[in-house]
């Protein structure tokens, strides 16, 4: 059974990895067989090599300015739901729900992101 402290540590590791050059930290966070959905409508990115490519394409770089807060909403066995708020220095804002499944080693084997951005015309 996954504990909230394990989920919180994993989320902290995710943020550190996003702020780190390269993709080496991903091996500590994700299993080799990761299935990663960047939205519920997207086809999953399969495997750690695919995630490495996606990771580098999606971020501006490790010096990308943002503030992130996360709260674990629920934990059930190896599954967890995390509410994430990301405010970028350029004014862009996102609110996400992450549905994650951690393996026995604490690495993520399934990740699904439900991203939400402010409605058009509202303050970002």
Whether the pLDDT of residue 124 is over 60: the answer is no
What distance in Å separates the CA atoms of residue 88 and residue 82, rounded to the nearest whole number? 19
Convert the pLDDT of each residue in 35-55 to its tens digit: 999 999 999 999 999 999 999
* pLDDT for the residue 2: 74
Whether the pLDDT of residue 117 is over 80: the answer is no
Cβ–Cβ < 8 Å for 78, 105 = no
pTM of the predicted model, to two decimals?
Answer: 0.90
Query: What fold does the segment set 4-116 form as a domain?
Result: Nuclear Transport Factor 2; Chain: A, (3.10.450)
Say whether 103 sits in a helix, a strand or coil. coil
Specify the range with the lowest mean pLDDT, choosing from 24-28, 36-40, 99-103, 117-121. 117-121
Name the nearest CA neighbour of 94 among 124, 121, 73, 122.
Answer: 124
Could you give phi then psi for residue 86, rounded to 5 degrees? -125, 125
Alpha helices in the chain (DSSP H): 4-18, 26-29, 48-58
Convert the pLDDT of each residue in 4-29 to its tens digit: 999 999 999 999 999 999 999 999 99
Whether the pLDDT of residue 104 is over 60: the answer is yes
């Amino acid at each position: 059974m996954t504990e909230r402290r394990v989920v919180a540590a994993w989320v902290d590791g995710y943020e550190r990895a996003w702020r780190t050059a390269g993709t080496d930290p991903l091996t500590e966070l994700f299993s080799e067989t990761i299935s990663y959905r960047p939205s519920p409508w997207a086809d999953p990115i399969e495997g750690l090599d695919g995630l490495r490519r996606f990771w580098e394409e999606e971020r501006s770089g490790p010096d990308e300015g943002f503030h992130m807060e996360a709260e674990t909403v629920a934990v059930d066995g190896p599954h967890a739901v995390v509410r994430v708020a990301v405010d970028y220095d350029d004014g862009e804002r996102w609110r996400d729900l992450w549905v994650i499944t951690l393996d026995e080693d604490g690495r993520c084997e399934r990740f699904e992101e439900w991203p939400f951005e402010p409605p058009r015309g509202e303050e970002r």
